[in-house]
Amino acid sequence: MTFRIAMSVAAAALLAACNPSTETADEADDTMNEADAGDMTNDAPAERNVVSIDPDNDPRVWLEEVEGEEALDWARSQNERTFARLQGDPRFEEFQAEALEIYQSEDRIPYGSYRDGHIYNFWQDAEQTHGLWRRATLDSYLSDSPEWDVVLDLDALSEEEGINWVWRGADCLAPDYARCMITLSDGGRDAAIRREFDMESRSFVEDGFVTPEAKGGVSWIDSDTLLVMLATDPETSTESGYPYIVRRWERGTPLEDAVEVMRGDTTDVGVWAFRMEGTGGEHHMMVSEANTFYETTWWALPDGGEPVQLPLPAKSSLQALYDGQLVFTIEEDWSLEGSTESFPQGALLSFDFQNWLDTGNADVETVFVAGPRESIGGVGATASALLVQIDSNVVGGLASFAHGDDGWTRTDFDTPANMTLGLTGTDASHDVAFLNAEGFLTPDSLYQVNVADHTVTPIKSTPERFDTEGLVVEQHEAESTDGTMIPYFVVRRADTVMDGTTPTLLYAYGGFQVSITPSYSGVRGRLWLDRGGAYVVANIRGGGEFGPAWHQAGLMMDRQRIYDDLIAVAEDMIDTGLTSPRHLGVYGGSNGGLLTGVMYTQRPDLWNAVVSAVPLLDMLRFDQLLAGASWVGEYGSPSNPDEGAFLQSISPYHNVDADGTYPEIYLYTSTADDRVHPGHARKFAHLLSESGHPFLYYENIEGGHSAAANLRELARRDAMLYVFLTQKLMDEDAPEGSAD
């Protein structure tokens, strides 16, 4: 699976690295694609011997030195032990081969973006491990055998330059797209370089724009001018490690001479500039100043003028510029200053952008308001309509909105039923759009959206990767401690005997307004479902499945609700007889790794296997490690007395009972992850080792936040994961450390 702590919805320039659409699939086919806060549902022992750790004098702080020799030696020794157990299992080679076959399959859908008459696609396979950036004409792309024109061979570039380049995307200047700024990461970390590329010569521009390695971004103003935001050193970085200064860089001048346009504060999460294209051919330079993870100050940058603050609420997200209307969503109830009209949380709104620039007046109109069990997914402007993906009870739908003198009118599309939909390929300059559809048992299919006649036509599909005969998908609900009903999906065999013996893997995320929707995964199907396992996805609070309120119900000191939700789902599965603690495992990554870490410490009796991937686990020092300071808006601040006390009560690293009985936990992370610090997983594993609790630990030396830098590493990562789960949940004689 691909895990991420999604960046602020305000940080538009970070979409490539921290996409709020948040893929959760674990294969290349899917990469398109009122209780008191402190209440706990578990019956804790009367006396617990919790290991005491002073965050200001942590004895394991040496493991936070990312590339420290002692820390890496320790990680390698743990890798050897884990490899011996998991790769030594006779099933590992088979699992890895099957996963690699799926990842490298030639019949995957080549997803891409559409511009200048071409579909641009980035492709990796058995031969092209770093990947090819390529393009095909639209007519050719719609055929069964597209003729691809290779623009950049990343394997050749990596070999030539001796660097493990990982693709991070390209920003090409409209309307002719002749020049692009290509972003490349060394080994998969978020910090990257940007290099100017000429589409005609298919080469990097000699003496062109090149940035040093840094977190941040660039955005075209015109063919000779960029806006740059780079966190190159402590003087140019926020406390979260992101840029807060926007500068204008003219061609032929040194980067250090770039003129400052605006700056935020070092206490901001970060500041990013971007170019917004309108359907009338106009464009505007904009800036998002992410004051916190969820609160943003939006700015317009008039040509030659001072930045002008937009009249938007702090919790809002820009979406598109359609028919002169600036379209945005709000994540809080809002009234425009000086107006008596109010707008509800979760609404999609707009106002005439040029009129506001000219007069300072914003006449806000309502485009759409999501219902209590709805949420807004992708929003994209095409030349003749605004397309909006609207999910209802975690099932996708698509509508178009047209703007006229009487405001906005809606027309719904006839889309594939009961599927997860993903809107892609929209652009203000044309009416071509694409829609991906998938389900737990339905492989990805790509549809072309015809905006003019409101049709959705299938054009490509992925073959089935596993046998779905006899499998069923159900949606259930579990009652959480405060009475809220929590939906969850179950994928199982139709003839499952409800006697508690079914090996079951429970997956959840529960944070950052990320929606976890049904997804097709050949790897999961082949390595787990085909072998008799059941798979469950819990739509717990903290996510975005039902809009901003669903997310905000579990923020900061209300976070125990999220954990109670997942416990309620697990207990409901056990009560119905689907599974039992002997055969139940829980899996999550990034923020989901924190979730499973809490499940490990709060309810160890529920699981026989816990997987915590690229996790946060030390919640008293998370804000001091890499990008952690940016997540205070999600978790709270350890330095705040009340919030710090709550964080200590849930922090997995600070709640391990030395005398407790725990299931075996599998922790995996990446040395090159510069988003969630590998020290979290390292320190937790070291603590378990000293306490005598069973665990496995794997650290990929490269790979960034996905813990894998190429398809082979993905296949190895997944094979080890499913060997562990098979050993613990399917084998009659589980390895040492079982809950029995």
* Tens digits of residue pLDDT in 500-532: 999 999 999 999 999 999 999 999 999 999 999
Where do we find the tokens 């893997």? 505
The two structure tokens encoding residue 619? 């919640």
Q: Which of 113, 705, 706, 738 is catalytic?
A: 705
DSSP state of 243: B
* CATH number assigned to the domain covering 68-86+466-616+661-729: 3.40.50.1820
- Whole-number mean pLDDT of the chain? 90
Q: Which residues does residue 586 pair with via DSSP β-bridges, in sequence order?
A: 506, 610
* Residue 51 pLDDT level (bands cut at 50, 70, 90): confident
Q: In whole angstroms, give the CA distance from residue 501 to residue 522.
A: 24
**Rounded mean pLDDT of 298-309?**
92
Top-confidence residue, 236 or 393: 236
**Rounded mean pLDDT of 680-696?**
96
pLDDT higher than 90, residue 177: yes
Count other C-beta atoms under 10 Å from residue 165's C-beta.
22
Q: What is the pLDDT of residue 573?
A: 97
Contacts by residues 115-124 (CB-CB < 8 Å, ≥ 24 positions apart): 115/172, 115/174, 115/177, 115/427, 115/429, 116/176, 116/177, 119/146, 120/151, 120/170, 121/148, 122/167, 123/148, 124/28, 124/710, 124/711
Q: What is the pLDDT of residue 554?
A: 96
| Contact predicate 331/20, CB 8 Å | no
Q: What is the pLDDT of residue 49?
A: 86
Extended strands (E) in 417-560: 420-424, 432-438, 445-450, 455-461, 471-479, 485-493, 504-507, 534-538
Q: In whole angstroms, give the CA distance from residue 185 to residue 337.
A: 43
Summarised one tens digit per residue, pLDDT across range 318-358 is 999 999 999 999 999 999 887 778 999 999 999 999 999 99
* Residue 630: partners with Cβ closer than 8 Å, 6 or more residues away: 7, 8, 238, 240, 241, 242, 269, 270, 290, 293
The yes-or-no answer on residue 590 being catalytic is yes
The yes-or-no answer on residue 21 being catalytic is no
Q: Dihedrals φ, ψ of 142, to 5°?
A: -75, -10
Q: What is the pLDDT of residue 11?
A: 36
Summarised one tens digit per residue, pLDDT across range 421-480 is 999 888 888 898 999 999 999 999 999 999 988 999 999 999 999 999 999 999 999 999
**Rounded mean pLDDT of 298-316?**
93
SS3 421: strand
What value does the CA radius of gyration of the chain take, rounded to a whole number of Å?
Answer: 25
Q: Which of 8, 519, 521, 590 is catalytic?
A: 590
* Residue 47 pLDDT level (bands cut at 50, 70, 90): low
Q: What is the pLDDT of residue 736?
A: 59
Q: What is the pLDDT of residue 704?
A: 54
Q: What is the pLDDT of residue 1?
A: 38
* Residue 578: partners with Cβ closer than 8 Å, 6 or more residues away: 490, 492, 496, 498, 500, 502, 504, 534
**308-309 and 296-300: which strand pairing?**
antiparallel
Summarised one tens digit per residue, pLDDT across range 79-97 is 999 999 999 999 999 999 9
pLDDT above 70 covers what percent of the chain?
92
Q: Which helix (H) or strand (E) holds 690?
A: helix 679-691
Of the candidate ranges 156-165, 297-306, 323-332, the one whose mean pLDDT is the lowest: 297-306
Summarised one tens digit per residue, pLDDT across range 105-120 is 889 999 999 988 999 9
As a 3-state breakdown, the chain gives helix, strand, coil percent values, each rounded to 5, of 25, 30, 45
pLDDT higher than 60, residue 571: yes
* Residue 5 pLDDT level (bands cut at 50, 70, 90): very low
Q: What is the pLDDT of residue 102?
A: 93
DSSP of 565-585, one letter per residue? HHHHHHHHHHHTTS--GGGEE
Q: In whole angstroms, give the CA distance from residue 247 to residue 532.
A: 57
| Contact predicate 626/676, CB 8 Å | yes
Q: Report CA dihedral (81, 86, 88, 89) to the nearest 10 degrees.
A: 150
Burial of 373 (0-12, 13-18, 19+ CB in 10 A): middle
Q: Dihedrals φ, ψ of 208, to 5°?
A: -85, -170
Q: In whole angstroms, give the CA distance from residue 410 to residue 402.
A: 7
- Among residues 232, 122, 50, 243, which one has the least CA distance to residue 650? 50
| Contact predicate 611/721, CB 8 Å | yes
